[in-house]
Amino acid sequence: MRKIKITMAAGAILFVLSSCGQIEKPEDDTKVGSGIEKIVESDEEPQAVQNTGTAGDSEDQISSDNGDSAAYVVGGEKAETGKENVPEIPVGEYEYVSDGEIGKLVIEKISGGYDISDYESEYSYRFMADYSNIQAVEDNKIYIKYPEQVYADDTADFSYYMLEYNTDEINVYYRKSPQEEAEFLYCAKKKQSDGTKQAEKKEISDGAPNEAAAGQDGSAAFQPSLSDEIAAEILYAEEREKEIIEKQKTADTQMDMNITAAEMYQMWDDTLNIVWGLLEANLNEVDMEVLRKEEKEWIAFKDAEVQAAGQECEGGSIQPSVEASRAADLTKARVYELAEYAK
């Protein structure tokens, strides 16, 4: 009876969606209401799904036969695999570089599960998934089956995403079907609060993160110059660069190299945006207008250089790493150039 209710509810939703515009289905169609399927590559069949709650609570569970991992539908109770600590999905906002802009990956805990949204820019998104799109969580990996296009006859075109997470970053992979090899898309870093960033920068710059800004005699706090502020941002970036280089040294696979190269580029691109914001807030409009024209020319130059670098190994697994490394080098150099405008 519960399965019938779920199917009827899904059909009602699809009817409302399809009434906005009838679309012809493709020849190779897939039913939207085909149920939960685990896309973890394994020779073992998942055990039967257990339904213990209401349809809105998504209490379905998936358990693995080997007892070494715990896969489960998000929002439900822990799978009965003998594991005491099944990792929680890390909620929060993560940032990544997307075509020269800052993309956002947002994970929110809601009643009944999680919402996961990927905004490529301020005006576009890659997916906006809710708990019904999350198939399973296993070994710090979130598996999403997302309907890219829903048709009038209850069929849909799906995309498959895998989010591999740790304490402060998430690597996102994509494939068009469960049979394809996953393609790395980007590495999203957890967004830090302004207070956390400032504390880290203060610690790096003078080794005293908790020193009072004001003098002992009650005098006003020292106000750093524009040049000092930019120098502090660059010093912070240089320390982060050292950490990423260490990760690159221990990269075992080409995929790991691609990820760390993308992380290096994103870090320097973030720094460039911060430095640009400081200049924009402090320089006069005449100087900024000259700088904006110069920046447009530099962006065109950078894009051409990155494209040329990638063409030398086009189609190879090393291409993302080559392109990201070239972009990181150019962006780092540009940061130092912009710093000169503060002097």
Question: What pLDDT, in 10s, does the model give residues 38-81?
Answer: 333 444 433 333 333 333 333 333 333 333 333 444 334 333 33
Q: What is the pLDDT of residue 200?
A: 55
pLDDT, greater one: 293 or 190: 293
CA distance 314 to 308: 10
183 CB neighbour count, 10 Å cutoff: 12
Specify which of 11-20, 88-97, 154-163 reaches the highest per-range mean pLDDT: 154-163
Q: Given this model, what pLDDT does residue 241 score? A: 93
What pLDDT does residue 99 have? 64
Report the pLDDT value the prediction gives residue 174, as an integer from 0 to 100.
Answer: 92
- Which residues are within 8 A (CB) of 308 and not within 5 positions of it... i.e. 6 or more apart? none
Count of residues in the chain = 343
Phi, psi (5° rounding) for residue 113? Answer: 160, -140
Picking from 298, 301, 284, 286, the residue whose alpha carbon sits closest to that of residue 338 is: 298
Most confident of 175-184, 196-205, 305-314: 305-314
Mean pLDDT of 272-295: 93
Question: Whose CA is closest to 191, among 96, 55, 271?
Answer: 96
**What's the CA gap between 85 and 82, in Å, rounded?**
9
Asked whether residue 313 carries a pLDDT value surpassing 50, the answer given is yes
Rounded distance, CA 328 to CA 277, Å?
A: 19
**pLDDT, tens only, 122-160:** 778 888 888 889 988 888 899 999 998 889 888 999 999
pLDDT of residue 193: 60
Distance CA 61, CA 48 (A): 8
Radius of gyration of the chain measured on its C-alpha atoms: 24
Would you list the domain boundaries of the chain? 2-188, 193-210+225-342
Which has the closest alpha carbon to 317: 153, 125, 130, 182? Answer: 182
Average pLDDT over residues 274-294: 93
- pLDDT, residue 154, reads 85
157 in Cβ contact with 30 (< 8 Å)? yes
pLDDT, position 202 = 55
Query: What confidence score (pLDDT) does residue 276 get?
Result: 93
Say what percent of the chain tops pLDDT 90.
Answer: 33
Could you read off the pLDDT of 219-256 as tens digits, one per residue? 445 578 899 999 999 999 999 999 999 989 998 888 88
pLDDT in tens, 322-336: 999 999 999 999 999
32: which residues sit within 8 A by CB, 6+ positions away?
Answer: 10, 14, 147, 150, 154, 155, 156
Helix residue ranges per DSSP H, 190-284: 194-206, 226-249, 254-282
Classify residue 120 as exposed, middle or buried by CB count within 10 Å of its CB (0-12, 13-18, 19+). Answer: middle
Residue 343 pLDDT level (bands cut at 50, 70, 90): confident
pLDDT of residue 198: 56
Q: Which of 14-23, 149-158, 178-187, 316-325 has the lowest mean pLDDT?
A: 14-23
Task: Reduce the DSSP state of residue 162 to 3 states and report it.
Answer: strand
Percent residues over pLDDT 70 in the chain: 64
**More confident position, 312 or 26:** 312
Cα torsion at 291, 293, 299, 301 (round to 10°)? Answer: -110
Q: List the Cα angle 238/92/134 in 5-degree steps.
A: 125
Please report, for residues 150, 238, 266, the alpha-carbon distance to residue 11 in angstroms, rounded to integers and kept in the order given.
12, 54, 42
Tokens of 138: 């296993």
Count of helix runs (H) and strand runs (E) in the chain: 6, 10
Task: Calculate the average pLDDT of the chain.
Answer: 73
What confidence category does residue 195 fall into, taking pLDDT thresholds of 50, 70 and 90? low
Cα atoms in the 13 Å half-sphere on the side-chain side of 212: 7
Model's pTM, two decimal places? 0.49
Q: The dihedral of CA 29, 32, 33, 36: what is its sign?
A: positive
For residues 302 and 323, give the distance between their C-alpha atoms in angstroms, rounded to a whole number.
11
The span from the CA of 188 to the CA of 262, in Å, is 10
Q: Mapping DSSP to helix (H, G, I), strand (E, B) and coil, where does residue 117 land?
A: strand
